[in-house]
Amino acid sequence: MTTAPRGPVDSSRVPRYAGPATFARLPRLDEVAHADVAVVGVPFDTGVSYRPGARFAPAAVREASRLLRPYHPALDVHPFGVQQVADAGDIAVNPFDIGEAIETVEHEAGQLQAAGTKLLTIGGDHTIALPLLRAAAKQHGPVAVLHFDAHLDTWDTYFGAEYTHGTPFRRAVEEGLVDTEALSHVGTRGPLYGKRDLEEDRRLGFGIVTSSDVLRRGIDETVDALRQRIGDRPLYVSVDIDVLDPAHAPGTGTPEAGGMTSRELLEILRGLAGLNLVGADVVEVAPAYDHADITSIAASHVAYDLISLFTLDTPRARQEQR
């Protein structure tokens, strides 16, 4: 007899502003025997090049997630009912040593994934994508990457530093962590240092769908192109919240005008249903720059949709959808 997953606290019995401060008020990892999906925070922002503050994102996104509900109508799935989802707390990393922090995230992510658990990680700045990709590649081999971001994050160095929030995907290509036939940026925009940035990015294997492309082509055409590029490869999705226009996500470290709406981002994510999603992150939420919590709310819904994508291909989900 299969035991039903333990879900969020019942909001008809405990008000949403009360109860545990876990993501979506889910059980902690130590309260369940096994988690199919774990939500883990990485409160780290030592790799930023402009506005700090993403170290406070895991707590802020968890707080914003209190309003999430157990049924996802757009995907027709109960994301917390078809698999066990739990909150694994935060990975505590050294805020003064980027190299040590990267090693810690890689090790802890690997430990969490060892029993077959999939990770949804809340950053933190985008530096953490590199150790998360290392952990994913150890388990699955080189992965396809779908990178939502205003920026390329494939620069070589910044002030001579090789590990920053602007370099993780170049390092990932150099280390052989990713499948260079299936790499895509989505939502890029804004000024660059020069045309060479685009040329080097193309040489690394990335295809680009700018925010203007999304506007002109529409959601369906964008999703079709991404799905063709990804195929059935194991897929890692990395969402920098600054992919959204500052009107939809003001609380981030390097905002750029002309971005996607939260509706566009969520619809593209929903279009990935059925792909082989093996890991995901949501990063660069900086709550101090957003006093209305708009950014944290958007990030909590992005995380919810990614968890829903993790759970869509389970036997229990297929049975419910019949």
The CATH number of residue 169's host domain is 3.40.800.10
The pLDDT value recorded for residue 3 is: 81
- pLDDT above 70 (res 64): yes
CA distance 164 to 130: 10
Contact 58, 122 (CB under 8 A): yes
Q: Which residue has the higher pLDDT, 280 or 318?
A: 280
Q: Over the stretch 34-54, which tens digit does the pLDDT of each residue have?
A: 999 999 999 999 999 999 999
38 in any annotated domain: yes
| Cα–Cα dist 217/209, whole Å | 10
Does 88 have pLDDT greater than 60?
Answer: yes
How much is the pLDDT for 316?
54
List the domain range (segments joined by +) for residue 235. 23-321
- Give the pLDDT of residue 314: 56
Query: What pLDDT was estimated at residue 196?
Result: 97
Report d(CA 121, CA 38) in Å as an integer.
Answer: 8
If one counts the domains in the chain, the total is 1
Is there a domain that residue 17 lies in? no
- Cα–Cα nearest to 241, from 157, 128, 125: 125
9 part of a folded domain: no
| pLDDT of res. 247 | 98
What average pLDDT score do residues 230-252 get? 98
| 283 pLDDT higher than 60 | yes
- Residue 285 within any structural domain of the chain: yes
What is the predicted pLDDT for the residue at 2?
62
* For the chain, percent of residues with pLDDT exceeding 70: 96
Res 61 pLDDT > 60: yes
pLDDT > 60? residue 317:
no
Residue 313 binned pLDDT confidence (cut-offs 50, 70, 90): low
Residue 54 has phi, psi (to 5 degrees) of -70, -10
Instruction: Determine, yes or no, domain membership for 54.
Output: yes
Q: Which residues contact 77 (CB under 8 A, 6 or more apart)?
A: 71, 308, 311, 312, 317, 320, 321
User: What pLDDT is attached to residue 312?
Assistant: 80
Q: Flag whether 6 is in a domain.
A: no
Residue 192 confidence (pLDDT) above 60: yes
Q: Which residues have C-beta within 8 Å of that of residue 103, sequence separation ≥ 6?
A: 131
Q: Which residues touch 92 (CB under 8 Å, ≥6 apart)?
A: 43, 104
Q: Does residue 84 lie within any of the structural domains?
A: yes
> Is residue 12 one of the residues assigned to a domain?
no
Which class for 160: exposed (0-12), middle (13-18), buried (19 or more C-beta within 10 A)?
Answer: exposed
- Band (297; pLDDT cuts 50, 70, 90): very high
Average confidence score pLDDT of the chain: 96
